[in-house]
Structure 1
Amino acid sequence: MDATTAPDAEFARVPGAVVDETGLRHLGNPLGEQRALAAGTAVAPLADRRVLAVSGEDRLSWLDSVASQALARLQPGVSTELLILDPQGRIEHAASVVDDGETTWLLVDDSDADPLLAWLLRMRFRLRVQPRDASDEYAVVGGTAAAAASLPAVSPAGVPLVWHDPWPGVSVGGWGYAVTAPHPGIDRDWAEAVVPRAQLAELADAAVRGERMLAGRDAAEALRIAAWRPRRSADVDERAIPHELDWMRTAVHLEKGCYRGQETVAKVHNLGHPPRRLVALQLDGSGSELPKQGAEVRVGDDVVGAVTSVALHFEEGPIALAVVKRTTPVDAQLLVDGADGPIAAAQEVIVPPEAGATANVPRLPRLGRRTRA
């Protein structure tokens, strides 16, 4: 799919729709769309998500050998996610994963799809695997599990291609750093269905007739940020490692075989501390504008980090995720640079400063990954 082609053009005819180069942003009522999306009465076309397909007999063992997640025995229909790391353990690519018994399907942020596909093609060697871009055939639509089940998900091998987000449960082999109980994302109900691209026009027609309620990307992002859920296209920079974003809980298996970057993953987790940490910010809402992605975060005059994601939430108001130095005091009053001056921000700890160094720490029982029928 040509990434320069305007996506979601079908939805421009829906009353109130605002469509830009990244797809359907909203339909005039972003807060109401969030409520409907969370309640399962709306679905969100996700033009900023792409579909890659990996076929071939060796696909699962091959992906297992190059990625952070244990995939060799992944069962059809089971949802997980993976990271591709560089030799220093920094995050290069990320993908949501579901296998149908014949093909492994990767749902990937649009900006990362072409680089990930190119990397996978280079890593095939003589193995029986064939990665390809399936985005011309298929699109991604998100919502609650029930809402996703109402969509015409494709099932080329008899298994509906619906990815259920495991966040914030701790997957087998994973580790959660966030200590807040309950986790703000504990009630997150999110799934992404792979549908025939031609179905987007029918979805738009149903919305025009009032038979289907839609939500835009802004609503989906606000729900993600409120759940402290990291995303490759928003929260990852050239230095990010999984520990900093609490991404060890769903995307990394600490007990699987070797893969690129594993040494750093193990060393930081067992012996060290991640140099930076993800925090949630409750922003002062007295101003008229939200800060931009990349806005500097300060303690007094000292820059300690940057905003990675920001939204206006229908219940919590202005919120953001930011990556700050590990040494930033957890009780520090933070300021975020805004267009009209500094914005006060109350810090909520996601990854604590003491995260890591677990080699001599007793391993306590923890919640396993949530399952869905």
Structure 2
Amino acid sequence: MTVVMAEDLDPSSADAGVPVHYGDPMREQRVLATAVGLVDRSNRDVIAVPGEERASWLHTLTTQHLSDLSANQGSELLVLSPHGHVEQHAYVTEDGTTAWLDTEPGAGAGLLKYLEMMRFFTRVEPRDASKEIAALSVVGPGAADLFPGLAAPRVSPVPGAKFAAGEVPGHATSVYDVTPFEGGLARRVPLGVDLLVPREAKTSVIEKLGVPLAGLWAYEAIRVEHRIPRLGWETDHRTIPAEADFVATAVHLDKGCYRGQETVARVHHLGRPPRRLVLLHLDGVATDQPPAKGAPVVLGDREVGFVGTAVRHHELGLVALAVLKRNVADDAELRVGESAAAIEAA
């Protein structure tokens, strides 16, 4: 089997350490879109947070309502700057004794530093568990069949701009069912099932599941199709949660004070964040290569946004997630480098 690693193509890749494809990226995409496949995402950073006060502590530090997150439940959270800009995004998975936070490759050090700074006298012991735990993703419509005991993700509707106090239920806005699996945990998420397993068991878990392998390129194509943002790709230093569609899954709009809350509340009640996340279709006439992360999106002679993740999709062709200024019309004639670009209405 041909295995192409991210670093084989780009030694400086943020996704170094995992395969980007196994010889046929388009076939791998079709497997994830129509059946089920397994993606090695073991380069993700993992932070362990044991301690009896972990739930209430994480509740006060992040955007999510976590004070009553139960054993065998998961969710998503953000850490914001004092001005409400997104600094960290992580999935949280609770097993009854430890909250496991998995985040982007390279983001764990910053998240852990923040958590350690905020410990004070709280009974928690956050640590880097990246060398202990490997993340894998079972993706596709057949993923749920392999884990029949896991309920589908439950994501609460985002309230209107002028919602009344108490209208938002007092629990996490996204709840992902979790079950023990092979010495680790399986977490049902929108694209399938994420696994957090002991690193030394990674190979045996892959063999036991016995599903086709797919590379990170295939996973990213499915993620882009479903408009799921990624920290560091669909975010920059001034991104606020509403601009990158994090509010539904990672932000509770009616919980106690946390850093950056004022900005989140103000933007939500005004109802018009300065930018928005969109799916762009690229014409692929001048080039069939996806544009680089951060490539400017231009309207006339004016830069109106940036490309986050661009992929070659097995059905949609060249597409990209981009963050654009709010006032860019859906029918605007945009360009990304040499390619014409069109917004697909949500």
For Structure 1 versus Structure 2, the TM-score category normalised by the shorter chain is 0.7 to 0.9
Tell which deviates more after alignment, 255-264 or 270-279: 270-279
Q: Supply the AA of the counterpart residue of 1:17.
A: V
Quote the residue 1:59 is aligned against: 54
Q: CA-to-partner distance for each residue in 1:286-320, whole Å, 9 max, x for gaps? A: 33211111111111111111101111111211110
Within 5 Å, give how 1:296-315 maps onto structure 2: 296-315=296-315
SS at match of 1:233: coil
Contact map agreement 1:298 1:304 (CA 8 A) in 2:
yes
Tell which deviates more after alignment, 219-228 or 72-81: 72-81
> 1:273: how far off?
2.1
Q: Supply the AA of the counterpart residue of 2:81.
A: D
TM-score, normalising length: structure 1: 0.76
Quote the residue 2:194 is aligned against: 192
Quote the residue 2:176 is aligned against: none
Quote the residue 1:121 is aligned against: 116
SS at match of 2:303: strand
Contact map agreement 1:117 1:133 (CA 8 A) in 2:
yes
Distance in 2, matches of 1:149 and 1:238, equals: 40
Distance in 2, matches of 1:188 and 1:220, equals: 13
Q: 1:175 to 1:148 in 2, by over 3 A?
A: same
Quote the residue 1:354 is aligned against: none
Distance in 1, matches of 2:41 and 2:160, equals: 28
Q: Supply the AA of the counterpart residue of 2:60.
A: S
> 1:188: how far off?
4.7
Contact map agreement 1:283 1:344 (CA 8 A) in 2:
yes
Quote the residue 2:340 is aligned against: 344
Tell me the C-alpha RMSD between the 2 structures: 2.6
Q: 1:137 to 1:149 in 2, by over 3 A?
A: farther
Quote the residue 1:252 is aligned against: 251
Within 5 Å, give how 1:74-85 maps onto structure 2: 74-85=69-80
Quote the residue 1:329 is aligned against: 329
> 1:197: how far off?
0.9
Within 5 Å, give how 1:151-170 maps onto structure 2: 166=153, 170=155
Distance in 1, matches of 2:267 and 2:73, equals: 29
Q: 1:242 to 1:300 in 2, by over 3 A?
A: same
TM-score, normalising length: structure 2: 0.82
Within 5 Å, give how 1:1-373 maps onto structure 2: 15-21=1-7, 22=16, 23-144=18-139, 147=143, 166=153, 170-171=155-156, 174-175=158-159, 188-202=190-204, 206=207, 212-271=211-270, 273-286=272-285, 287-337=287-337, 342-350=338-346
> 1:37: how far off?
2.1
Contact map agreement 1:53 1:134 (CA 8 A) in 2:
yes
Q: Supply the AA of the counterpart residue of 1:74.
A: L
Listed as ranges, the gaps of 5+ residues in structure 2 are 8-15, 162-188
Listed as ranges, the gaps of 5+ residues in structure 1 are 1-14, 152-159, 178-186, 351-373
Q: Matched residue pairs, number?
A: 307
Quote the residue 2:172 is aligned against: none
Q: 1:273 to 1:348 in 2, by over 3 A?
A: same
Distance in 2, matches of 1:62 and 1:349, equals: 39
The 4+ residue runs of structure 1 with deviation greater than 4 A are 148-151
Q: Supply the AA of the counterpart residue of 2:315.
A: E
Contact map agreement 1:278 1:349 (CA 8 A) in 2:
no
Percentage identity across paired residues of the two chains: 43
Contact map agreement 2:143 2:192 (CA 8 A) in 1:
no
Q: Supply the AA of the counterpart residue of 1:52.
A: I
